[in-house]
Structure 1
């Protein structure tokens, strides 16, 4: 569904992406791993068309993402942001239904609210949560609200940016399980950015490692531990010494 071919992106002298090649299959969950500052978020923004690559191509179903109609293009995506990114001045249901009430196909308020409550229920939150404000929720509940918002418009493609950041291990496990269930249930294509190996093993069909501006390795999650690539092995086992340290 998504194909990146020789994608380059630099910010001044900082060459972040240096020839990324990656294919994300329709209906599959791709997790991109890599250390902080390796360009994972820049890659995601390039796919969304928020950042224009200096060279190379990114296509969605064969269509160049930089030439697509923006509103129709972005309507195909859902997004769970790293920090939740909820609007603190809006009630929970209004956050979940934010996209549903805007644009050329906006729904009536009562209908959008019903859908929001249904999506909140799908992520394990009771209807009474709908009228609270984000500040009244725990971190784990806020993350669930963010997930409900990401799936509210039934997107074909969902991006997850560090979905378990700031959560305790138990809540992180709950979120990972929800993500996996929802992606399979919806038949959605998923792209996740994370350095949490527990998340990788819980939600990935395929894994790609971004390092040095290129994809060093990609393959099924079942083959991750067996790959002899020293960069991958150092990263997944959290070793202090290895080739990643050497290039810093």
Structure 2
């Protein structure tokens, strides 16, 4: 589904991506781990075409993303943003149906609302939530609304950016379970950025560690804990001592 070869991206003198190679198979869930500032978010932005790479190639279904027609291309994606990124001035159903009310995916208002209510039900929220505003909801409910919005248009690819940030362990577990169930049900291809190793183990088929702009380790999640790579070992154990530099 997604084939990345020799991807480079710098901002001035700061080389963020330094030759990323990664293949994400259709219908699988890949989780990208790595420290802050290692280029995880830049990688997703390059795939979406929001940032232009300096060098390398990204193919989606064998099509070069830099040459794709934007509206049909972006219609293939769903996105769960870090922090939710809901529109405060819109009721919940309009947030969920945002893409269904505009652009090439536009549907009649009543149909869009019906779809939004159905997607809210899928993430465990009743129809009474549809007319509320985000500020009236708890953090966990807001995250569920954001997940409903990400799947509203039945995308082929879903990106999850730190899906459990700011949630307590119980709610984080609920969101992880929902993500896994929904990805399997939809047959979608998923890419997730997270620092939460509980999320990694709950939702990943494969794990890729990004360090200093390159994929340091990549493989099945079942092999992660037994891997000998010292960078991966330090990251997943949270050890202060190791090859990854820490500020003291």
**TM-score, length-normalised on structure 1?**
0.99
2:92/2:133 contact within 8 Å kept: yes
Give the aligned partner of residue 172 of structure 2. Answer: 172
- Partner SS, residue 243 of structure 1: coil
- Partner SS, residue 182 of structure 1: helix
4+ aligned runs moved over 6 Å, structure 1: none
Unaligned runs of 5+ in 2: none
Alignment CA distance shift 1:13-1:122 (3 Å): same
- TM-aligned CA deviation for residue 183 of structure 1: 0.1
Give the aligned partner of residue 24 of structure 1. Answer: 24
- Partners of 1:104 and 1:25 lie apart in 2 by 27
1:29-68 to 2 correspondences below 5 Å: 29-68=29-68
Alignment CA distance shift 1:247-1:19 (3 Å): farther
- Partner SS, residue 15 of structure 2: strand
Matched residues, number: 248
- Partners of 1:212 and 1:188 lie apart in 2 by 29
Give the aligned partner of residue 83 of structure 1. Answer: 83
- Partner SS, residue 215 of structure 2: strand
Give the aligned partner of residue 218 of structure 1. Answer: 218
- TM-aligned CA deviation for residue 104 of structure 1: 3.1
- Partners of 2:141 and 2:13 lie apart in 1 by 41
- TM-aligned CA deviation for residue 105 of structure 1: 3.9
- Partners of 1:199 and 1:140 lie apart in 2 by 15
- Partner SS, residue 244 of structure 2: helix
Give the aligned partner of residue 239 of structure 1. Answer: 239
Give the aligned partner of residue 130 of structure 2. Answer: 130
- Partners of 2:104 and 2:60 lie apart in 1 by 22
- Partners of 1:134 and 1:246 lie apart in 2 by 37
| Structure 2 residue 109 is matched with structure 1 residue 113 | no
Unaligned runs of 5+ in 1: none
Give the aligned partner of residue 96 of structure 2. Answer: 96
**TM-score, length-normalised on structure 2?**
0.99
- Partners of 1:47 and 1:244 lie apart in 2 by 26
Deviations 1:121-142 (A, max 9, x none): 0000010000000000011000
2:101/2:112 contact within 8 Å kept: yes
